[in-house]
Chains A and B, each alone.
Chain A
């Protein structure tokens, strides 16, 4: 396997609503920052992005995103209608082929133009579930209820995830929801969609992120301590919710196994768990359930800022940042896509 690393990362401050800037205007400074910081602009041989046209409500909105990077003379480019984490995976695959030495990856999304809960309902199958308009919070609540009723975890554990995430987010200048709040205070909130309270749910966020990947010596040229990708895999489960065991995440288990997550201890894990119960399910799947020295979501995670289509790429960027800064030697980043953790990506990063 060719040594490929994250060498720079940039993100837009996550906000509830960007009232004036369009997607390209949000993206431009973020891409410029990531590319400038890498110092290897001339080596970038591929660009890959992740976004979703349903967020903007405009067909081919993703093509617009290209204006942020100046695609002239014509560039080699690709796009996934998924979180930018999967765009990073595609770029990593191309880097493995050895034709290019560096790649730019970005993910962006404004969730504020539409009603996100309804927009996300359209990722359900179009015949049986989408016509019911099962919104994204209701689908997540279905999963949380299944998890609680299976006796795997408690509402208090969920509240503790919420409290810890928002507390840790106070140290993250890009976070949207950051506060000191106890699990008891959270448990006293009314339900939004039982058994989920508002605090169990992610904020609605406009945002963007960009990563530069580089291989071998080009990575070493870009930064003193690249965050080497030692394993990256993704697995997907069935689309129809009724055929899945929603209380577990076997796709995460398999992706983690294939990525070699358990080969050594993990200092930091950045998990894309938009809902509190999903972090509990992911921790079980990744065997991060018990206190074992792994710091989980020091950024605050998706409960502090959830720019859809960028939030997974941000997990990789946050984990890589800890490595590049020398704060961690081995980190795990996770991204998810689809309803109830349908598809999961695990990326293992190391400093040496």
Chain B
């Protein structure tokens, strides 16, 4: 009698966590709940962060404390077109994920671009946020459904990138 060797075992793991966004990200998420995009200015280098990072200026290692209200418009600084489905995905492929420099900010945030064919998205494209209905707003990134083209002419991308680098 031959004994089959064990070739594979499954050991499922599940852990649950309470997530603590921290001060900066909490302010950002509360802002979204009110339909606003809030940035934070570094008191040392004056860069404006948006997207609710760690609460620190990653360059200076000091807390960003000044809250800066920002508009919900910006410029695409880079993007990628996603053609691969993955587990849990709720969006039809292909879709576009982009780095968007919100007007007045120095650090781009990541968001989806919709209402535009994927092959039309380009660096320098001007975009605006599309929000969920007011009564559905919550302290979550899902409160901004996606960004869509404004129809304005493109921003001069070289200048935008230079400003981001030099900021």
Contacts A20-B26, A31-B61, A130-B11 known; A68 to B56 CB distance under 8 Å? yes
User: Residue-by-residue, is B114-158 near A (CB-CB < 8 Å gives 1, otherwise 0)?
Assistant: 000000000000000000000000000000000000000000000
Find out whether the CB atom of B20 lies under 8 angstroms from the CB atom of A22: yes
Interface assignment of B62: CB less than 8 Å from any CB of chain A = yes
A24 touching B15 in the complex, CB below 8 Å, given contacts A18-B20, A127-B9: no
* A27 nearest CB across to chain B (Å): 9
Q: Are A67 and B21 within 8 A (Cβ)?
A: no
The answer to whether B20 touches A28, judged by C-beta atoms less than 8 angstroms apart, is: no
Q: Are B55 and A22 in contact (CB-based, < 8 A)? A: yes
CA distance A31 to B61 in the complex (A): 9
> Using an 8 Å CB-CB cutoff, how does the interface string of A25-68 with B read, 1 for contact, 0 for none?
10010011000000000000000000000101100000010111
Partner of B55, one of A25, A54, A72, A115: A25
Task: Flag if B23 contacts A21 (CB, 8 Å).
Answer: yes
The answer to whether A187 has its CB under 8 Å from any CB of chain B is no
**B19 interface hit (Cβ, 8 Å):** yes
The residues in B between 27 and 85 inclusive whose CB is less than 8 angstroms from any CB of A are: 53-63
Contact assessment for A70 and B22 in the assembled complex, using a CB-CB cutoff below 8 Å: no
> B11, A25: Cβ atoms under 8 Å?
no
Closest to B22 in A: A22
> Within the assembled complex, what's the spacing in Å between the Cα atoms of A56 and B16?
10
When distances are taken between beta carbons in the complex, the residues of chain B under 8 Å from A68 are 54, 56, 61
User: Which one of B15, B18, B25 contacts A119 once the chains associate, using CB atoms below 8 Å?
Assistant: B15
Interchain CB contact (< 8 A) of B22 among A20, A69, A112: A20
Residues 185 to 205 of chain A near chain B (Cβ within 8 Å): none
A69, B61: Cβ atoms under 8 Å? yes
| Alpha-carbon separation in the docked complex, A176 to B63 (Å) | 26
Q: Which chain A residue lies CB-closest to B6?
A: A127
In the bound complex, CA of A18 to CA of B21 (Å): 11
Tell me, yes or no, whether A114 is within 8 Å of chain B by CB.
yes
Q: How near does chain B come to A116, taking the closest CB pair, in angstroms? A: 10
Q: Which residues of B contact A127 (CB under 8 A)?
A: 9, 11
Q: How large is the interface on B (under 10, 10 to 19, 20 to 34, 35 or more residues)?
A: 20 to 34
Q: Are B23 and A25 touching (Cβ within 8 A)?
A: yes
Q: Is the CB of B63 within 8 A of A67?
A: no
A21 to B54, CA, bound (A): 10
- Say whether A57 contacts B15, CB under 8 Å: yes
List the B side residues contacting A31 at CB < 8 Å: 61
B17 interfacial contact with A, CB 8 Å: yes
The answer for the CA separation of A114 and B19 in the assembled complex, in Å, is 9
Shortest CB-to-CB span from A123 to chain B, Å, is 13
**Cβ B58 vs Cβ A110 within 8 A:** no
Docked-complex contact B22 and A24, CB < 8 angstroms: yes
Q: How far is the CA of A57 from the CA of B14 in the complex (A)?
A: 11
Please, which residues of chain A bring their CB within 8 A of the CB of B11? 126-127, 130-131
- In the complex, what distance in Å separates the CA atom of A286 from the CA atom of B18? 39
Cβ of A122 under 8 Å from chain B: yes
A219 → chain B closest CB, angstroms: 23
Determine whether B1 belongs to the interface, using a CB cutoff of 8 Å to chain A: no
User: Chain A residues with Cβ under 8 A from B55's Cβ?
Assistant: 22, 24-25, 28
Which residue of A19, A28, A112 contacts B63 across the interface (Cβ within 8 Å)?
A: A28
- B13: interface (CB < 8 Å): yes
CB neighbours (8 Å) of B53 from chain A are: 67
Question: Is the Cβ of B56 less than 8 Å from the Cβ of A24?
Answer: yes
B60 closest partner in A (C-beta): A70
Q: Is the CB of B9 within 8 A of A67?
A: no
B26 to chain A, nearest CB (A): 7
Contact B21 A70 (CB under 8 A): no
Is there an interface contact between A113 and B61, defined as CB atoms closer than 8 Å?
no
Tell whether, in the assembled complex, residue B18 and residue A28 are in contact, meaning their CB atoms are under 8 Å apart.
no
Q: A20-B23, A21-B23, A24-B22 are in contact. Are A115 and B16 (CB under 8 A)?
A: yes
Closest Cβ of chain B to A45, distance in Å, is: 16
Query: Chain A: which residue is nearest B54 at the CB level?
Result: A24
Q: A24-B56, A25-B23, A72-B59 are in contact. List 8 more A-B contacts (CB 8 A).
A: A20-B26, A21-B23, A24-B55, A25-B63, A70-B61, A71-B59, A110-B20, A112-B18
The 4 closest A-B pairs by CB, nearest first: A70-B61, A22-B22, A24-B54, A57-B17
A-B contact pairs, 24 of them (CB 8 A): A18-B20, A20-B22, A20-B23, A24-B55, A25-B23, A25-B63, A28-B61, A31-B61, A54-B15, A56-B17, A67-B53, A67-B57, A67-B61, A68-B56, A72-B59, A112-B18, A112-B20, A113-B17, A114-B15, A114-B18, A115-B15, A122-B13, A126-B11, A131-B9
Chain B positions within 8 Å of A, measured between CB atoms, are 9, 11, 13, 15-26, 53-63
